[in-house]
Chains A and B, each alone.
Chain A
């Protein structure tokens, strides 16, 4: 197995300044360093409020870091997402960095199969192959075939979450960020997700995730990264 470095965080800090709450400042991350290698699955551990989700969002460039660097290996070069242009970030998200959250956010009315196939289509995969791959993933994740032509708006939490996982994994990406993607899944489906992650790692993907379920954590983690809540400054 390769051990290429894929992601490196250096001295990363994040605070939120709330202009309409009398300039209140929330310090969530401070001076954080982390290195993530191909084939690894690092699980963030720590209590609620320790900044685990915030960290994933900062890496995905969904939040701006207040200080520090987020280096990502993008193709054959390194890019600091803290300084990258929007167009660079979008390209990194398309080809290198995947993110699966607990929540599915999509346009109403779009059928499930299309939602899952979309990231593959955006990568230039043919319509037929993208839909085939989407169907394979949905089948593995036990989403009943009769639901595929329907928009997921009315699905159960667990079904929506599996649609979201399928959408997040349809394009093999070198770095995967997972924010509790299995929170509302039953044991059988958690096992499927664990398998999918093992397969992704076997092909060289690096995984950084949050899993509150201990069984799931033990199953997927190659290493834990403990986090602590900062005290209010």
Chain B
């Protein structure tokens, strides 16, 4: 199968300081890749650089569009990058408040990305919004409520609905379950796993939680100090870690 995303030698520096350094990987359709490492290891910088939200210092990212054409992300205009983000990609942020519009209703949050793609029929938008609220287990009678009144877990589920409603081919997730109760976390993980399977989408997910990587991702990259120190099958990395840092990370977890 051919890749959807190719990252080669990607670096992002902040002045003298390394954000991420010389990272390469391929992502295939239907695949979820986890990036793990402690705070400050460069995970989020990598995610944002791959997603063309930060300009790389070196290296390049290629993405295969829906029509099969390869795009060099560094060479795209701002308008083209926005079009990709709107039509083919999705982002789920750690804090749902960053990814939601808090002053409009839950239904409008879900419908907004569809409207950006040109859908205008109010009745149809409302139907789709309602069905997506149900899909992420939010009571559809809350469709006209603003998300400010939702719990953190509900807000995160709403953000997932808002992101996936357009059926993106590639989703970037930054710690989507951090800061949530364990029970809420399990629910969101189950939801993400099902949606990733059903929609066949590809995703890059940053997490510091190795148990999350084990349950969701077939492949994992371990980062330390901006560099990838180990990469491979998730179960291999967790059960037979080779690099000293990965061994430390794995042995520091209570249960994975």
* Complex: A16 Cα to B187 Cα, angstroms: 36
B interface, over-half SS:
helix
Interface-facing stretch out of A56-64, A170-178, A186-194, A223-231: A56-64
* Complex: A121 Cα to B1 Cα, angstroms: 19
Does B140 sit at the interface, judged by CB under 8 A?
A: no
Q: Are B232 and A20 in contact (CB under 8 A)?
A: no
What chain B residues lie within 8 Å of A108 (beta carbons)? 186, 189-190
What chain A residues lie within 8 Å of B242 (beta carbons)? 17, 64
Q: Are A20 and B240 in contact (CB under 8 A)?
A: no
Give the interface size class of chain A: 20 to 34
Q: Are A109 and B187 in contact (CB under 8 A)?
A: yes
* Complex: A35 Cα to B25 Cα, angstroms: 35
Q: Are B247 and A20 in contact (CB under 8 A)?
A: yes
Which one, B28, B193, B197, contacts A87 given CB within 8 A?
Answer: B28
Contact flags B216-256 to A (C-beta < 8 A → 1, else 0): 00110000000000001101100110111001100100000
Q: Which of A40-69 contact B (CB under 8 A)?
A: 57, 61-64
Does B178 sit at the interface, judged by CB under 8 A?
A: no
Which one, B187, B214, B239, B251, contacts A57 given CB within 8 A?
Answer: B239
Does A89 sit at the interface, judged by CB under 8 A?
A: yes
* Complex: A57 Cα to B219 Cα, angstroms: 17
Given A20-B251, A87-B28, A90-B218, verify A109-B190 contact (CB < 8 Å).
Answer: yes
Which one, A63, A106, A107, contacts B240 given CB within 8 A?
Answer: A63
Closest to A57 in B: B239
* Complex: A121 Cα to B186 Cα, angstroms: 22
* Complex: A57 Cα to B233 Cα, angstroms: 13
Closest to B216 in A: A107
Of B189, B193, B197, B235, most buried by chain A (CB within 10 Å of CB) is B235
Q: Are B247 and A64 in contact (CB under 8 A)?
A: no
Q: Which residues of chain A have a CB within 8 Å of any CB of chain B?
A: 16-20, 57, 61-64, 86-87, 89-90, 105-110, 121-122
